[in-house]
Amino acid sequence: MTDSDLTRLVILADRSGSMGHIQKDMNGGIHQLLADQAKEPGGILVDVVTFDTEVEFPFTGVRPDDIKTDIIQARGGTALNDALGMTIVRLGEELATLDEDDRPGTVIFVVVTDGEENSSREYTTLQVKALVTEQQEKWGWTFLFLGANIDAFGVGANYGFHAGHTMNYAADGKHSKSAIATASAGVTRTRSGLAADFTDEEREAAGA
């Protein structure tokens, strides 16, 4: 059996140039999410993946309070396909090396972006959808998708994300912080064994 008290939280944060005007609020929101999750019952390990034209892995399998630096420092384009594909494969391979008792019982991805895919070189949308679908259906992973300046539901559906786990947010400071707070609430629900689905009130607060 997997460790039902352990969660692996993966945050995929868009750091493309268009995030520049909200990066301060996004960074504050992400640090608040980490602080909130550190207080919840059960163990949690966090991966942070940032993507612009490149995909980087600044934190892997760390405690929430180990992440002190700002996550988003805007630059470049939006390699969302590569960020998702590389991260899913990377984490899947890592977990496969662990004894079953050491594997997290809950795996949650929080994906935050503010624009269309435009820079990936390794993965297509269809390839990513196949990976997402497999992890959801075979291993029970949860994917939360927050998108601004795009049709988040259309983009999310193309990746195989559930509509209830998908949210549009307004790309300004107030609403981006609310969106991250909503993501944190969805993470908490998932860790508690409840459905992660965003509420109408949460969507409204994010400016959806």
Q: What is the pTM of this model?
A: 0.97
Structurally, the chain folds into a number of domains equal to: 1
% of the chain beyond a pLDDT of 70: 100
CATH of the domain at 139: 3.40.50.410
Query: Domain range spanning residue 161?
Result: 3-205
pLDDT in tens, 167-177: 999 999 999 99
First vs last C-alpha separation in the chain: 39
Tens of pLDDT, residues 54-77: 999 999 999 999 999 999 999 999
What's the confidence (pLDDT) of residue 98? 97
Contacts of 97 (CB under 8 A, 6+ apart): none
The pLDDT of residue 208: 78
Mean per-residue pLDDT for 150-163? 97
